[in-house]
Amino acid sequence: MIIAIDGPAASGKGTIARRLAAHYGLPHLDTGLLYRAVGAGALEKAVDFEDVDTLAALAGALDLSALDPESLRAGPIGEAASRVAAIPEVRAKLLMLQQEFAHQPGGAVLDGRDIGTVIAPDAPVKIFVTATPEARAARRHKELVGRGEDVTPESVLDDIRKRDQRDSSRSSAPLIAAADAEIIDNTALDVAASVAAALAIAERRRPR
């Protein structure tokens, strides 16, 4: 069974994906980490964000087993990830990797922006997780401060809005709910309630 979970930055889709993966005993891929790894590589090697060939080469050389989620979740990398994610050549390099992960025997849980629309349009369970930009910014701010980053609530909200705008308006695989996805707006829900809503959807839609 493939479970596709999409949604904007800091919507809680990663938490939901991890909980569903644990519940069903399925492997999980946070596809944002792939774009973050390319973005981090670009920052580290000072690659120009217009240099499509070099960025695509970075994407082509990614090794799934070498991704370090902790370091890739640092603040500035999100912005770089969003920029490289708008480049079709970068997305093309990451497509097969994600499709192979999704279609492994037994299934998988993937979370990202285009899982239900591009990576696994055949997924029986598709969930689009969202919340207001203010609610998502408040969560992200708390997370970043907890990691010791020095950020203001305003700058985090500004960053979330910029990323929403870029992720939704790009021409290649924009952030959009699949027509057959079920939406969870968790603005007013806590983690337990969001996970329970997602589990209820998965139970209803999973093949038996």
Query: Residues in the site for ligand DC, rule: CB under 6 A?
Result: 9, 31-32, 35-36, 78, 81-82, 85, 112-114, 163, 167
Please name the residue ranges forming H helices in 69-190. 69-72, 75-85, 88-102, 133-146, 153-169
* Number of residues that this document lists for the chain: 208
Minimum distance from residue 81 beta carbon to ligand DC (Å): 4
136: amino acid identity, one letter? R
On whether the CB atoms of residues 140 and 195 are closer than 8 A, the answer is: no
Rounded to a whole number of angstroms, the minimum distance from the CB of residue 167 to ligand DC is: 5
Q: How far is the CB of 163 from ligand DC (least distance, A)?
A: 5
Smallest separation (angstroms) from ligand DC to the CB of 208: 28
Q: 24 vs 35, which CB is nearer to ligand DC?
A: 35
CB of 77 or CB of 195, closer to ligand DC: 77
CA angle 69, 38, 164 (to 5 degrees): 80
Q: Which is nearer to ligand DC, 11 or 202 (CB)?
A: 11
Is the CB of residue 12 less than 8 Å from the CB of residue 186? yes
Cα separation, 124 vs 201, whole angstroms: 10
Q: Which is nearer to ligand DC, 68 or 203 (CB)?
A: 68
